[in-house]
Amino acid sequence: MRRLSLTTRLSLMFMLAVTGVLIVAGLSFNHLSRHHFKSLDRQELLEKAHAVQGILGELTSLDNFAALKPQLSALLGAHRDLTAIIKDHNGRVLFADPGPVNLPERFSVIAGNAIWEWHDQQQVFRGLTRQVKGPGQESPLTLMLVLDVTQHMYFFDALERWFAIGLIISALVSAALGWLLARSGLGPLRHVTAVAAAMSAKSLKERIPLAPVPLELQQLVSSFNAMLARLDEAFVRLSNFSADIAHELRTPVSNLMTHTEVVLSRKRNIEDYEENLYSNLDDLKRMSRMIDDMLFLAKADNGLIIPEHQKIALEEVIGTLCEYYRLLADEHNIELKVTGSGEVQGDVLMLHRAISNLLSNALRYTPEGHTITVSINQTTQCTQLTVKNPGEIIPPEHLERLFDRFYRADPARREGSPSNAGLGLAITRSIIEAHQGKIWCTSADGQTVFHMQFPRPEGSTESQ
């Protein structure tokens, strides 16, 4: 089933709102009008009844009733829709002006100020019945005042009929006006849709201006512009990543091709072929490590890296790594120093890899005869780990990009090396973020420090 457009929905809602208001207004007007006419009829009947009672109050005997007829005719004859009937206690009609009406007998016994209504085919009557007793009378007389209100009912019927016609016309007109207003009001939304449809990879830097956009759509446009900014950033990062991959793979592939072409240029002995194969194997291993690292980062970007949740003593992990790097450190006369203790919740193999990348990076850039310090500090809020090494400071403009893929702060090392493809810090950041932590770097006063912060595991004690 095809869904209605937003313009059509707004038009129907506008039409229903207008129709609802008109119905409520029409019903209210009809009710108030009927109440008003009924009040006027009641007032007129009560006034006539009071006047007739005043005349009949002078009657001392039914024998003198004929003398009162001229006064009654003069009082009641002025209203052509009013009929007055006076009966004695036996039901005999003593007076009827302008003539008797065949009323049901039940209306003769209604007393007080109660107004009754009677429908006789196409006619509608509204009346009042009272018992009147003169000073010399033994039995009261029955006074019935009957008002013909048929014209009132015709008026209300015609009013309701014309109101129904006017309601239909108003609904159609309001639907048309609602459609025009909705279409005009949704013009900025169509503009936003057109701009969004025209977006491509070459126009991601364009933004929709907020000035001509209505207030209700500014949040939508702001969110759309923010999405474009994120897409542009991701597209640039992906483009750079693709270029970096091609750049990094070009060197080992070029080496493989060069070595192979040189060996195949003429006949050689078995030792030359073996030497070329060993050289090619080194380049293939480097390419394999690079591909594995890129697959790991791709999984991390898509949230597929899910670490285990077990308590890990950081001092034990760092102690194992220091033993592993001790021989390399001794060769360069570098001391590895570990202070403090603390626990984290996570995957021991992934944390082992992340911290190993930082220690390897620190050993690469620490001058001989200096000390690399690894500090652990656990507070009530978090567990902190820092790796500090002396050496040349990293310029501030490079600190934010250290964790980008294939990025190297040293321009002389931008082409990469057999041991460093520029993915270690990117992998480290992915592992830390997978553990709900964060990592950053500071470099000043001849010291470069990598800071890591993890959520404090439940049940662990604060380190002293």
CATH of the domain at 270: 1.10.287.130
Q: Are residues 445 and 326 part of one domain?
A: yes
Q: Is residue 419 part of a domain?
A: yes
Instruction: Judge whether 372 lies within some domain.
Output: yes
Residues 47 and 95 in one domain: yes
Specify the pTM. 0.50
Same domain, 324 and 295: no
Give the pLDDT of residue 200. 72
Question: What are the distances in angstroms from CA 96 to CA 143, 185, 263, 299, 424?
Answer: 10, 70, 140, 105, 117
Cα(294)–Cα(200) distance, rounded to whole angstroms? 27
Report how many domains make up the chain: 3
Any domain includes 184: no
425 and 293 in a common domain: no
Note the pLDDT tens digit of each residue in 250-293: 767 887 888 788 788 888 888 878 888 888 887 787 777 777 77
220 within a domain of the structure (yes/no): yes
Confidence category of residue 149, pLDDT binned at 50, 70, 90: confident
CA 463 from centroid of its chain's CA atoms: 45
pLDDT tens digit sequence for 84-120: 888 887 878 888 877 666 777 777 776 667 888 888 8
d(CA 46, CA 414): 110
User: What is the CATH classification number for the domain harbouring 68?
Assistant: 3.30.450.20
CA 222, CA 408: separation in Å to the nearest integer?
A: 35
Q: What is the mean pLDDT of residues 184-211?
A: 75
In angstroms, what CA-CA distances link 287 with 84, 237, 276, 300, 353? 118, 21, 17, 20, 19
Which of 284, 301, 318 is the C-terminal boundary of a domain?
A: 301
Confidence at residue 173, expressed as pLDDT on a 0 to 100 scale: 92
Per this entry, what is the length of the chain? 464
Using pLDDT thresholds of 50, 70 and 90, give the confidence band for residue 408: low
**Could you read off the pLDDT of 204-228 as tens digits, one per residue?**
777 777 777 777 778 888 888 888 8
Q: How far apart are CA 295 and CA 430, in angstroms?
A: 12
Flag whether 203 is in a domain.
Answer: no
The pair of three-digit structure tokens given for residue 349, joined into one six-digit string: 């193999």
292/361 same-domain check: no
Domain's final residue, options 270, 301, 332? 301
Do residues 264 and 370 share a domain?
no
Return the top range by mean pLDDT from 276-280, 334-338, 402-406: 334-338
Residue 91: inside a domain: yes
Residue 71 forms part of a structural domain = yes
Q: So what's the pLDDT on residue 412?
A: 44
| 292 and 314 in a common domain | no
CATH number at residue 406: 3.30.565.10
Residues 29 and 160 in one domain: yes
pLDDT at 248: 65
Task: Record the tokens describing residue 455, joined without a space.
Answer: 């959520």
Rg (the chain; Cα; Å): 51
Q: Are 117 and 246 found together in one domain?
A: no
Nearest of 277, 448, 286, 434 to residue 361 by alpha carbon: 448
- pLDDT-derived band at 401 (thresholds 50, 70, 90) equals confident
pLDDT of residue 147: 87
Q: Are residues 22 and 124 in the same domain?
A: yes
Do residue 33 and residue 158 come from a single domain? yes
Domain boundary, last residue among 277, 301, 325: 301
CA 124 to the chain's CA centroid? 59
8 Å CB contact between 235 and 199: no
pLDDT of residue 417: 47
Provide the domain limits for residue 321. Answer: 310-455
The residues near 11 (Cβ < 8 Å, ≥ 6 apart) are: 175, 176, 178, 179, 182
Q: Are residues 268 and 320 in the same domain?
A: no
* CA 196, 198, 201, 205 torsion-angle sign: negative
Query: What is the pairing mode between strands 371-378 and 335-339?
Result: parallel
Q: Is 207 within the bounds of a domain?
A: no
Which pLDDT band, with edges at 50, 70 and 90, does 460 fall under?
A: low
pLDDT of residue 413: 42
